């Protein structure tokens, strides 16, 4: 079924193109083993204020999520958790707080991926610019060293308070995992992909026991700016992933 046919088949389901993009991101995250059983969450704001957002259903595996499965939630609704089909309470606590307090971050992807979580477990969780990928994140991350347990509402509010700077697109969540932020699904998933690759490069470099070749600050910043301006990379990345899924007969866009 084509993109246009999918929209026609779901005339009463709002934000269909955004749903399709988000569903593709879930499917590919599962394929890359970025997920944590049924415990992680992606969300996407769909109104100007950023308070209405799409998010995955409670404890549904990333590999099965379809566009029509996604919940449409209101970050300002205090009764969300009391309704049938309520989201996971930790997802609501973390993502609800981000969409309520950080309208500049439209999309949020939280995972416990292996190498990002190893990085988050180190006493120093900073990611140094030791190659082109790691330089992408130079001066663009925040490290949370105040982990307070599961991300129910108080913990979610604490995390969201650390994300007020629009330039900080990755939170390395100490003792927890990673939160990646962006403007669109494509932008955010591309950043998630490269952050996990960067964390892997750094961790494997540390494992050699040899000295690291760290880029000078000015070169790291220049590289980060050049990658931010690189034309259409994120959009083409997601487009290709959707093409692969479609070619395989995936039901992600249903």
Percent of the chain with pLDDT over 90: 93
Instruction: Report yes or no on 39 lying in a domain.
Output: yes
- What pLDDT was estimated at residue 5? 53
Instruction: Report yes or no on 192 lying in a domain.
Output: yes
Instruction: Report yes or no on 254 lying in a domain.
Output: no
- What pLDDT was estimated at residue 22? 98
**117 DSSP assignment:** H
Distance CA 244, CA 197 (A): 21
- Provide the CB-side half-sphere exposure for 204 (13 A, CA): 10
Helix (H, G, I), strand (E, B) or coil at 203: helix
Q: What is the pLDDT of residues 131-174, one digit of tens each?
A: 999 999 999 999 999 999 998 889 999 999 999 999 999 999 99
Bridge partners (DSSP) listed for residue 55: 43, 71
Instruction: Report yes or no on 56 lying in a domain.
Output: yes
Domain that holds residue 205: 3-247
Number of domains composing the chain? 1
Instruction: Report yes or no on 35 lying in a domain.
Output: yes
Q: What is the DSSP string of 126-152?
A: -----SHHHHTTTT-EEEE----SS--
Instruction: Report yes or no on 98 lying in a domain.
Output: yes
Residues whose CB falls within 8 Å of the CB of residue 12, separated by 6 or more in sequence, listed in order: none
Instruction: Report yes or no on 253 lying in a domain.
Output: no
In this structure, are residues 93 and 149 in contact, taking their beta carbons and an 8 Å threshold? no
Which class for 189: exposed (0-12), middle (13-18), buried (19 or more C-beta within 10 A)? buried
Q: What is the pLDDT of residues 41-63, one digit of tens each?
A: 999 999 999 999 999 999 999 99
Q: What is the pLDDT of residues 187-226, one digit of tens each?
A: 999 999 999 999 999 999 999 999 999 999 999 999 999 9
Instruction: Report yes or no on 54 lying in a domain.
Output: yes
- Whichever domain contains 137, its CATH number is 3.40.225.10
pTM metric for this prediction = 0.94
């Amino acid at each position: 079924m084509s993109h246009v046919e999918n929209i026609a088949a779901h005339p009463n389901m709002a934000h269909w193109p955004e749903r399709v993009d988000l569903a593709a991101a879930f499917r590919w995250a599962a394929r890359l083993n970025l997920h944590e059983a049924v415990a992680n969450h992606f969300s996407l704001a769909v109104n100007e204020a950023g308070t209405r957002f799409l998010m995955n259903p409670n404890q549904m595996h990333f590999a099965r999520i379809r566009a029509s499965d996604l919940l449409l939630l209101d970050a300002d609704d205090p009764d969300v958790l009391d309704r049938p089909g309520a989201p996971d309470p930790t997802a609501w606590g973390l993502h609800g707080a981000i969409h309520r307090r950080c309208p500049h971050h439209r999309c949020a992807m939280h995972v416990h991926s292996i190498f990002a979580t190893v990085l988050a477990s180190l006493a120093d969780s900073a990611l140094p610019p030791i190659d082109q990928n790691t330089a992408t994140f130079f001066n663009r991350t925040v490290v949370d060293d105040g982990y307070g347990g599961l991300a129910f509402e108080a913990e979610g509010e604490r995390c969201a308070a650390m994300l007020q700077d629009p330039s900080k697109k990755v939170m390395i969540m100490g003792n927890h995992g990673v939160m990646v932020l962006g403007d669109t699904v494509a932008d955010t998933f591309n950043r998630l992909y490269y952050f996990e690759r960067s964390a892997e490069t750094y961790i494997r470099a540390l494992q050699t026991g040899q000295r690291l070749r760290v880029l000078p600050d000015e070169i790291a910043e220049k590289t980060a700016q050049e990658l931010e301006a690189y034309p259409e990379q994120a959009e083409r990345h997601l487009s290709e992933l959707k093409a692969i899924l479609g070619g395989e007969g995936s039901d992600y866009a249903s």
